[in-house]
Amino acid sequence: MPITATSLKLPQRLKARIERLSRRSGESAHAYMLRALEGHVEAEERYRAFLADGVRADVAMQRSGLGYAADDVHAYVAARAEGRTARRPRPVRWRK
């Protein structure tokens, strides 16, 4: 993996917090910051993908006129969260 150098100008208090936490975790401040940045970037990418998936699902629902009744979905999710088996909700036509 190619490495490129960059420079960060951190507020002194933030740098001190990073150094304190990195010492506690047994890693360098550099490794700590890399791990933190990687985690943040991955979370942001997952969030953006989640939003894009929602937009695609909405477009498909608008096009087809099919969707799921909220009560059916809530009952299904509640049953699954309680460890019970449940039938998946069936799509219903919400638009004529």
- Per the DSSP assignment, residues forming a β-bridge with 92 are 67
Q: Which distant-in-sequence residues (6+ apart) come within 8 Å of 68 by Cβ? A: 89, 90, 91, 92
Q: What distance in Å separates the CA atoms of residue 8 and residue 76, rounded to the nearest whole number?
A: 48
How do residues 17-61 score in pLDDT, each as one tens digit? Answer: 999 999 999 999 999 999 999 999 999 999 999 999 999 999 999
pLDDT of residue 4 exceeding 90, the answer is yes
pTM: 0.72
Q: What are the extents of the domains in the chain? A: 11-64, 66-96
Kindly write down the DSSP assignment for every residue of 14-50, as one continuous string. Answer: HHHHHHHHHHHHTS-HHHHHHHHHHHHHHHHHHHHHH
